[in-house]
């Protein structure tokens, strides 16, 4: 049996641990097993940049962050475009697959990665995918690997900000990753004891944010922690067309949404406001113990799908059980936070403001 693996899109914790789970299971259960590593995601598949991996390549990587294969972003919307040098990317990827005489291509990635993976499935390639993203926004799985590791880091940031916020009586705006979904900000905000949480799914009213800070001030709480998803939007922005929103954001003076929220809070008040943007720190370092276990389970299950030739699926967790979800159902669908979810209800019940009232 011959397979190849690639990691695509942004890196995160658990990529190596997941590949290890796939490889160790296959080496254990398939007598004649060959595994290729594709360099830098779909770029390597397009350019034929790969190498044959050894069993030893999968040793010592359970706790290693990043990806031993390298990664890159290859926008799905451009996959069908012919390059200036005449390269047909889809054709090139199929040729690499056929050249290696693969039984299966194993792809680890997020939303954009899964769109291209589904395209390759439609083109006749045997594909198995694994759900990677710290945003936890992939459709079809309760949790993605990388999410819990990033959650630990984001929560730790908020924990540490608490001490300086209370010492100085300041307002701290902490920007958490998540462009289109607020899972990471919501969970980290609750876990870290944030007072206000702003996520893309619930447009915020800056007046409501200020009212909550004023309420806390009146209750002799002279500091507040505002956890803001990088994709948070205001009430006014939520009413704009895509074109209007894009132009509005391009004209925004501040470098990111956290800085804008901080400026809005400080305007016409005496509050001392500071901004913290942990950024890519949230994606780096070793996977958490939870993710190490999850990645091993995902990887082992993927191996069995390959052995049983159950291609065209994404490995997922549903109600605590590892299972397979048709790739056709996953590609192009985003999993956002339901505004009536138990997590949202719980946040409101314990007094956390979500910036909307």
In a shared domain, residues 135 and 14: yes
In a shared domain, residues 187 and 304: no
CATH code of 231's domain: 3.40.50.460
Residue 345 lies in a domain: no
Residue 353 lies in a domain: no
Sign of CA dihedral 170, 234, 279, 283: positive
Q: What is the pLDDT of residue 83?
A: 86
Residue 340 lies in a domain: no
**Residue 31 CB-density burial (10 A; 0-12 exposed, 13-18 middle, 19+ buried):** exposed
Q: What is the pLDDT of residue 283?
A: 95
Q: What is the pLDDT of residue 184?
A: 98
> Which residue, 251, 283, 315, sits at the end of a domain?
283
Tokens of 322: 């590892």
For residue 175, name the pLDDT band (cuts at 50, 70, 90).
Answer: very high
Q: What is the pLDDT of residue 269?
A: 87
pLDDT tens track for 221-240: 999 999 999 999 999 999 99
Residue 347 lies in a domain: no
Average pLDDT (3-16) is 96
268 has pLDDT over 90: no
In a shared domain, residues 157 and 124: no
Q: State how far the Cα of 122 lies from the Cα of 166, in Å rounded to an integer.
A: 56
In a shared domain, residues 313 and 254: no
34 has pLDDT over 90: yes
In a shared domain, residues 128 and 164: no
162-169 contact pairs (CB < 8 A, 24+): 162/192, 162/193, 162/225, 165/223, 165/224, 165/225, 166/223, 168/223, 168/272, 169/222, 169/223, 169/272
Q: What is the pLDDT of residue 27?
A: 98
Q: Within a 10 A sphere around the Cβ of 29, how many other Cβ atoms?
A: 14
In a shared domain, residues 279 and 294: no
In a shared domain, residues 102 and 169: no
Residue 313 lies in a domain: yes
pLDDT tens track for 129-173: 999 999 999 999 999 999 999 999 999 999 999 999 999 999 999
For residue 54, name the pLDDT band (cuts at 50, 70, 90).
Answer: very high
For residue 120, name the pLDDT band (cuts at 50, 70, 90).
Answer: very high
Selection from 110, 93, 248, 101 nearest residue 177 by Cα: 110
Determine which one of 11, 40, 57, 135 is catalytic: 135
In a shared domain, residues 279 and 295: no
CATH code of 71's domain: 3.40.50.450
Residue 354 lies in a domain: no
Report yes or no: 126 and 302 within 8 Å, Cβ to Cβ: no
In a shared domain, residues 18 and 129: yes
84 has pLDDT over 90: no
> Which residue, 226, 252, 283, sits at the end of a domain?
283
Q: What is the pLDDT of residue 338?
A: 97
Q: What is the pLDDT of residue 21?
A: 98
- 246-281: string of b/e by CB count within 10 Å (b at 16+)? eeeeeeeeeebbbbbbbebbeeeeebebebbbbeee
* Residue that the structure tokens 């080496």 belong to: 27
Looking at every residue in the chain, the average pLDDT score rounds to 96
Q: State how far the Cα of 324 lies from the Cα of 328, in Å rounded to an integer.
A: 12
In a shared domain, residues 198 and 229: yes
Residue 299 lies in a domain: yes
Tokens of 259: 């800085």
202 has pLDDT over 90: yes
In a shared domain, residues 179 and 116: no
Q: Give yes or no: 214 in active site.
A: no
Q: Above pLDDT 70, what percent of the chain?
A: 100
Q: State how far the Cα of 203 lies from the Cα of 189, in Å rounded to an integer.
A: 16
Beta strand extents in 55-208 (DSSP E only): 104-109, 127-131, 171-176, 196-198
Report how many domains make up the chain: 2
In a shared domain, residues 102 and 178: no
Q: State how far the Cα of 104 lies from the Cα of 306, in Å rounded to an integer.
A: 7
> Which residue, 283, 305, 322, sits at the end of a domain?
283
Average pLDDT (243-251) is 95
* Dihedrals phi, psi of 261, to nearest 5 degrees: -60, -40
Tokens of 139: 């459709």
| Domain extent for 97 | 2-145+287-330
Residue 257 lies in a domain: yes
Average pLDDT (268-296) is 95
């Amino acid at each position: 049996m011959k397979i190849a693996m690639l990691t695509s899109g942004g890196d995160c914790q658990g990529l190596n641990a997941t590949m290890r789970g796939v490889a160790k299971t296959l080496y254990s259960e398939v007598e004649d097993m060959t595994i290729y590593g594709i360099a830098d995601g779909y770029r390597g598949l397009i350019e034929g940049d790969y190498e044959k991996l050894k069993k030893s390549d999968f040793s010592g990587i359970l706790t290693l962050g990043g990806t031993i294969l390298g990664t890159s972003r290859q926008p799905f919307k451009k996959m069908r475009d012919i390059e200036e040098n005449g390269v047909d990317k889809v054709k090139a990827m199929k040729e690499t697959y056929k050249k290696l005489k693969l039984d299966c291509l194993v792809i680890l990635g997020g939303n954009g990665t899964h769109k291209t993976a589904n395209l390759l499935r439609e083109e006749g390639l045997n594909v198995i995918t694994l759900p990677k993203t710290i945003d936890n926004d992939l459709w079809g799985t309760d949790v993605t690997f990388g999410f819990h590791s990033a959650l630990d880091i984001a929560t730790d940031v908020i924990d540490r900000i608490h001490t300086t916020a209370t010492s100085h009586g300041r307002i701290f705006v902490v920007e958490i990753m998540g462009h289109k979904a607020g899972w990471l900000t919501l969970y980290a905000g609750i876990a870290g004891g944030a007072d206000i949480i702003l996520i893309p799914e619930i447009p915020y009213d800056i007046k409501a944010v200020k009212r909550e800070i004023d309420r806390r001030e009146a209750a002799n709480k002279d500091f507040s922690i505002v956890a803001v998803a990088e994709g948070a939007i205001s009430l006014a922005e939520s009413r704009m067309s895509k074109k209007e929103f894009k132009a509005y954001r391009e004209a925004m003076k501040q470098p990111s949404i956290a800085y804008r929220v901080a400026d809005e809070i400080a305007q016409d008040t005496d509050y001392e406001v500071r901004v913290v943007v942990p950024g890519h720190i949230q994606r780096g370092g070793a996977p958490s113990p939870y993710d190490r276990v999850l990645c091993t389970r995902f990887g082992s299950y993927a191996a069995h799908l390959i052995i049983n030739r159950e291609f065209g699926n994404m490995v997922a967790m549903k109600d605590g059980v590892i299972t397979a979800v048709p790739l056709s159902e996953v590609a192009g669908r985003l999993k956002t936070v339901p505004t009536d979810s138990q997590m949202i209800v719980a946040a409101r019940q314990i007094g956390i403001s979500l910036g909307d009232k």
